[in-house]
Amino acid sequence: MDYQQNLAEHISQNLKLELTIEDVLKLIEAPKFAEHGDLAFPCFSLAKSMKKSPAVIAEQLAGQLGGDLFEKVSAAGPYVNFFLNKSKVSHDVLLEILEKKHHYGDLEMGGGKNIPIDMSSPNIAKPFSMGHLRSTVIGNALANILQKCGFTPIKINHLGDWGTQFGKLIVAYKAWGDEQKVKENPIKELLKLYIDFHEKAEKDPGLERQGREWFKKLEDGDQEALRLWKWFREESLKEFNKIYDLLNVQFDSYQGEAFYNDKMDDAVKMIDDSGLLVEDQGAMVVKLDEENLPPSLIKKSDGATLYVTRDLAAAIYRHQIYDFAQAVYVVGNEQTLHFKQLKLVLKKLGLQWSDHIVHVPFGMILKDGKKMSTRKGKVVLLEDVLSDSIKLAERNILAKNPHLQNKAEIARQVGVGAVIFHDLHHERMNTIEFSLEDMLKFEGETGPYLQYTYARARSILRKASILTKLDPTAGLKDPLAWEVIKLLIDFPKAVERAYHKYEPSIVSKYLIDLAQAFNRYYGNVRILEENAELQTRLQLVEAAAIVLKEGLALLGIAAPEEM
């Protein structure tokens, strides 16, 4: 049950003012201190229309509101404080969670509508670096949250598999490459060739020209250029999929930039036919002066297309194929201008669905205060970080629980979970300084802490061995249990807030709060003590475990039964 909604309806009916339930809902808040109640309604905004002081209005409302949902309703200055009926509410909440299990918190706002999510999108022939982690795990978490809200997410890995860099790579491979070395370790060798190219190009500018020429051959369908490009792409995907398998991230589409090669002419023609395409210093652009933005460059002076040309073609194609309710792009905040331009060009074309394109930006992962650069070889490989994290998890397991079954699998779940949670616990717009030490911490507000809390709950339930049906008259009044109950009530709201703000960290922070409350309860209450409340205490443990597991699943993190 949504207790805030229920309270808002009661208040709205009693006020008999032009104040909707939605208006009241916006005003209801949770007091900072438990002694002030579970919910509070401030009366400041009513003073003018009711021609009374907020304190008088609060006193009046407190006398009118009540019912079996509340143990007490009292006025405290300008606030009406509501104390929920702990026994009834805890019983109702536990029953709902145990009946719905992992469907608890499911929302129906999406109505099954499609939402393609452009995420991860690494560049072919380059290593999967820490720089690509954010788009991958934020995008995956958002897809899970959207599904929880009733939408149909479509995860698209828009691979960077086209562009001048492939001309450069072909030049480097033909000049210095070794086929056998590339076959043995494709990403490492291709990265080495890419770095070598840029180092040599600083002394020999002619290499840049050769790179452009080979990319032009690739665009024109030259057989040797195409053969090498396809080989680079296939070998890269094999390596990427090792990372995706570790992260347990799957995609519905791998249609990258190259997929839109035969679709860009139509997009350019549509712009040209609309009269928007104009020449500017030899290039073809769409002017965005009215919006105080630089022009959107559609074609270079040599006729080559750009990212925005491909993204225009991709957006049009995706709308035709998916008829989306929204199209989400999980791309770094340095591309904010690009997406503003993309939306405006589509809007100028009269495509009203452009309003439903959503850029979900995020801050960078920095190393020593600087952006990681593949070109300069300053890059931290995600595979290395995941490997180190898994090894650390293995060492911890051997030290603390050497007889644990499936040690290797649990170490993988814990090690990978630590890396994912470290990212998703930060608000996505924050810039993160790369620190392997911080990332691999297993104490404090971390993924392993949440996983351990879940495993502890499952251990309690195994010791209890059997759960009987909840006694309809039973409820928990214990203050520590009540803190857990209140957080369990808030799970659907946390999911909804995360959806509206495209912010997985809301779920991360919620789970930390729930785990901390549960561990306080566990540390102070003898849960398995034989008395009248035993079954209800076990129901609370079961409910907390269900929500912890579902919350971790939303973040893309596994919940081991034992640790």
The model's pLDDT over 410-468, given as tens digits with 9 standing for 90+, comes to: 999 999 999 999 999 999 999 988 777 777 777 889 999 999 999 999 999 999 876 55
Nearest to 240 by CA among 187, 194, 182: 187
- Is 168 within 8 Å of 197 (Cβ atoms)? yes
Q: Does pLDDT of 114 surpass 70?
A: yes
pLDDT category, 219, cuts 50, 70, 90? confident
pTM assigned to the model: 0.92
| Res 468: pLDDT | 54
| Res 1: pLDDT | 66
| Res 375: pLDDT | 55
Rg (CA), the chain: 28
Cβ atoms within 10 Å of 323's Cβ, excluding its own:
10
Q: Does pLDDT of 475 surpass 70?
A: no
| Res 377: pLDDT | 56
Q: Does pLDDT of 292 surpass 90?
A: yes
Angle (CA) 52 56 61, round 5°: 110
| Res 301: pLDDT | 79
Percent of the chain exceeding pLDDT 70 equals 96
Residues 6+ apart with CB under 8 A from 493: 4
| Res 65: pLDDT | 87
As given in the structure block, the two tokens for residue 155 are 């995860």
- Domain range annotation of the chain: 3-83, 163-243, 396-555
Mean pLDDT across the stretch 379-386? 86
pLDDT category, 350, cuts 50, 70, 90? very high
pLDDT category, 130, cuts 50, 70, 90? confident
Please say whether the structural domain 3-83 has been given the CATH code 3.30.1360.70.
yes
Main-chain dihedrals φ then ψ at residue 443, nearest 5 degrees: -110, 165
Q: Does pLDDT of 373 surpass 80?
A: no
Q: How far is CA 392 from the centre of its chain?
A: 25
Main-chain dihedrals φ then ψ at residue 381, nearest 5 degrees: -80, 130
Q: What is the phi-psi region of residue 392: left when phi exceeds 0, alpha when psi lies from -120 to 50, beta otherwise?
A: alpha
Mean pLDDT across the stretch 28-46? 92
Residues 6+ apart with CB under 8 A from 75: 55, 58, 59, 61, 62, 81
As given in the structure block, the two tokens for residue 522 are 């566990």
d(CA 365, CA 434) in angstroms, rounded, equals 6
* DSSP-derived 3-state class of residue 278: strand
- The DSSP 8-state label assigned to residue 366 in this structure reads E
* Among 159-168, 200-209, 296-305, 487-496, the least confident range: 296-305
Mean pLDDT across the stretch 198-224? 92
Length of the chain (residues)? 563
Mean pLDDT across the stretch 133-159? 98
Beta bridge partners of 469: none
* DSSP-derived 3-state class of residue 42: strand
Percent of the chain exceeding pLDDT 90 equals 74
Q: Does pLDDT of 470 surpass 80?
A: no
Domain with residues 396-555, CATH architecture: Orthogonal Bundle (1.10)
The pairs formed by 216-223 with CB atoms below 8 angstroms and a separation of 24 or more are 216/167, 216/304, 217/167, 218/166, 218/167, 218/170, 219/261, 219/304
Packing angle between helix 407-424 and helix 505-524, nearest 10 degrees?
Answer: 120
As given in the structure block, the two tokens for residue 470 are 């909840």
Mean pLDDT, all residues of the chain: 91
Q: 519-563, pLDDT tens digit by residue? A: 999 999 999 988 888 889 999 999 999 999 999 999 999 999 999
Residues 6+ apart with CB under 8 A from 29: 39, 40, 41, 42
